Structure formats: C-alpha cells, structure tokens
Amino acid sequence: MSHRPRKRFGQNFLHDPIVIRKIVDAIDPQPGDHLVEIGPGQAALTIPLLERVGRMEAIEIDRDLVPVVQERCAPYGELSLHNVDALKFDFRSLKTDDRALRVVGNLPYNISTPILFHLLQSREVIADMHFMLQKEVVERMAAGPGSKIYGRLSVMLQAWCEVTRLFDIGPGAFNPPPKVDSSIVRLVPRPDEEVAIDDPEGFAKLVRLAFAQRRKTLRNNLKPLMDGEQISALGIDPGVRPETLSVADFKLLAAGL
C-alpha cells in the first residue's frame, strides 16, 4: 500500500533510517510505556517504537492512511489507531491505568502551536512529549528572556513544561522535503506545585496581552488588566518591554491580578 502526501494535512513523511534511529533513541521507549503517536504518517517512526514497547496508540486524521499504517505495523506489535483530529481529541480518555502517557509525533507545521496548547490541557496525564517541529518554532519554544524570539509561546510552554531542544533535522530526511529545517524537542510537564498558577485562564490572557504589541511597554500592553502602579507594587518596572521578563515575573503579575 502506498499513499501520496497531502498538502491539506501538512504531510511530510520521514524516511531517513539514521534520523529515525536517533529520534527513537532520544525518546528511549521502554516495554510497558503507554506511548501515543500523533500523525504516524506511513509508520516510519511507529514501527521501531512499536518494536520497543509491544503495544501503543496512534492518532491519525487522514482516513486513507489508517489501513496503510495498520498493515505495516501488524507484524511488529499491537497498534490501537484512532482516526480523529488530534486538535479535538481528549487525550485524558487514553489514560486507563496508572501509567502516564508518553506522547510523540511529527507535527504538521501549520497546526503545531494549537496542538501544543491543546495538549497542555491534558498535562496531568502526560509524562513527557517528544515532537518534531519546524526549527524556528522550537527555537521560540526554548528561547529565554531578552531574546528577540522570546514571546508568548516561550512563556506559555515554559510555565507548564520543561522545554529541551534536542537536535536539528534537514529537509532531506522527508518526502516531500519541506522548505524548512526541523528540530526535535522534549517537553516534560511540571508538577502543579512547581507551576504555581492558580488561574490558568487569567495567566494566559495576561501573557497574550503582554506580547500583543512587542514594541510597547508592559504598562501600555497590560492597561486592560492593571496600571503602572500595580505593576510597580509587584517589584516590576512597568516601563520595560515584555520580552525582558522571566516566566517567574509573568507568574508574579498574574498572581497580582
């Protein structure tokens, strides 16, 4: 069975065996792990993962790929394949025992950020996540304060997860080759006591407003929520730009709402 990559699903299929082995080694799947793959594609990564764990689950939106993946994976273990949209799927429904989920995937570039935010809503059932994403996106995810690429994505992900950029992958590892480089990133959800955010929706709104206009000061961007005096009372200069603040600073601001 073969399958032509579809643009509307952002499909770029991994085929380089050296890269595949490097990714599997980075994930380091163990027998009995509750592995969940988003977008198995043509099963290039699914097969070696399945060989390691014996049984796993996968989420695939393209119904034409379902029989391809099932046929290719059949000799290697038990694959439970869900033909659904990962953006609408409740990942908490997969946790049926005491094992936390280990989520992996080659995420389509056009919906990578929405999927990451969607997964944050199920972080309490997730042990870790390993994703292949556009290199530029991973750089933003892992960026620190003061960087030109540090922004909403950096703060939101680092507030909830430990973010580690692992290694880069060139376009030649895929079919068809994308026009950008990719990177592998590891995200490990932080325990609630370390996150220490009482109002997640309030925190998200504050971060979104703070970075709405990067060239403006914190005082200007946060006007709908708090004034300069309130910001100063928290020990933060209202005249600075948002990209100079640490994740801890944003948590402090959110707690002061």
Q: Can you give the CATH number for the domain in which 92 is found?
A: 3.40.50.150
pLDDT on residue 123: 96
Dump pLDDT digits (tens) for 194-220.
999 999 999 999 999 999 998 899 999
User: Per-residue pLDDT tens for 25-41?
Assistant: 999 999 999 999 999 98
Quickly count: other Cβ atoms within 10 Å of residue 42's Cβ: 20
Phi, psi of 97 (to 5 degrees): -145, -160
Do 242 and 142 share a domain, yes or no?
Answer: no
Q: Domain check: are 171 and 211 in the same one?
A: no
Distance CA 39, CA 90 (A): 15
* Res. 175: pLDDT tops 80: no
Shared-domain flag, residues 135 and 228:
no
Distance in angstroms (rounded) separating the CA atoms of residues 115 and 182:
17
**What's the rounded mean pLDDT across residues 58-69?**
92
Read out DSSP for 59-83?
E-S-TTTHHHHHHHHTTTSEEEEE-
CA distance 81 to 60: 7
Q: Which domain does 222 fall in, by range?
A: 200-255
**Cis amide prior to 177 (ω within 30 degrees):** no
Bridging pattern class, strands 78-82 and 126-134: unpaired
In this structure, the answer to whether residues 77 and 154 fall within a common structural domain is: yes
Contact criterion met (CB below 8 Å) for 149 and 139: yes
Please tell me whether residue 85 adopts helix, strand or coil conformation: coil
Residues 66 and 165 in one domain: yes
- Does residue 5 register a pLDDT over 60? no
Work out how many domains the chain is built from and give that number: 2
Mean pLDDT of the chain: 93
Of 140, 168, 191, at which residue does a domain stop? 191
